[in-house]
Copies of this chain bind each other. A is one copy, B any other.
């Protein structure tokens, strides 16, 4: 066991399971809160197939729980449950907190730091973005396919702090490429520039990234959606580079036939992360008096599709 912070992973699906397992493998004291995969982890442990190196953690090296009340209070809570489950967070996180506990959210989209800050105080909150392609193959089996880079930043004040540097260092020691961002809001919006068109159109049309930008009309549409995200960011006080859309489309060409999490959710008839990725940006734009027709259309359309799935 490392002499380091004790850590709780709230929502040990693919992302939480992977990063938590990397930290546990390195010797950190990690406590995993699970739901559906709890029995599998307790009986067979966790198997990780990773482009950064495969590894296994036997049940004896996994501190798995199926109830927050049974967990110890920790120094760092890492939140990785799907944003569609955010309403469960107050009850799941509260039992884990000491006075000085930090809460790091690695969730998608916007509004998660604000939600946690509203319940637990803004000073605890660190935001993080995971640029990773990772799947839960089956109970207790995670497949890390590509990337894995994590950027963290303080929610209050400047992004850099001793605490955020320590989190990035801890992840880096554990074989996770990590760094500190100067400005959490700018970094979040920058990620949105990619997520809104590719997750949105990808789910709406069941189309992979290469299909979306494979025609000139498709590329133009993706760029138009990205342009609206830039407008929404600016209305929210974040000025992104004007060439960010072109650069992101260009970078996406090397990703091949990539399925976003939202497209996968739709295929699997799971709830899509509509509010975090689409609803929050749309509402921020509306409050600023902006008309963003494509974002509004994506937001509306995905809610219609989500309601059809649940039926």
- Interface residue A57 (Cβ < 8 Å from any Cβ of B): no
* Closest B residue by C-beta to A305: B205
Residues in B with CB closer than 8 Å to A217 are 296, 299-300, 303
Q: Which residue of B lies closest to A224 (CB)?
A: B293
Question: Is A35 among interface residues, defined by CB-CB distance under 8 A?
Answer: no
Interface string of A281-311 (1 = CB under 8 A from B): 0000000000001101101110111001000
Docked CA distance A301–B205 (Å): 7
Q: Which of A218, A221, A305 counts the most B-chain CB atoms under 10 A from its CB?
A: A221
Q: Which residues of B contact A296 (CB under 8 A)?
A: 217, 220-221, 224
Task: Evaluate contact between A206 and B297: CB separation under 8 angstroms.
Answer: no
Which residue of B218, B221, B304 contacts A211 across the interface (Cβ within 8 Å)?
A: B304
Residue of B nearest to A298 (CB): B297
**Separation in Å of the A197 CB from the closest CB of chain B?**
11
Please give me the residue from chain B that is nearest to A291 by CB atom.
Answer: B224
* Residues of A253-277 contacting chain B, CB below 8 A: none
11 CB-based A-B contacts, threshold 8 Å? A201-B301, A204-B301, A205-B304, A206-B308, A217-B303, A218-B300, A218-B304, A220-B296, A224-B293, A294-B294, A294-B297
Residue numbers of A with Cβ under 8 A of B are 201, 204-207, 211, 215, 217-218, 220-221, 224, 293-294, 296-297, 299-301, 303-305, 308
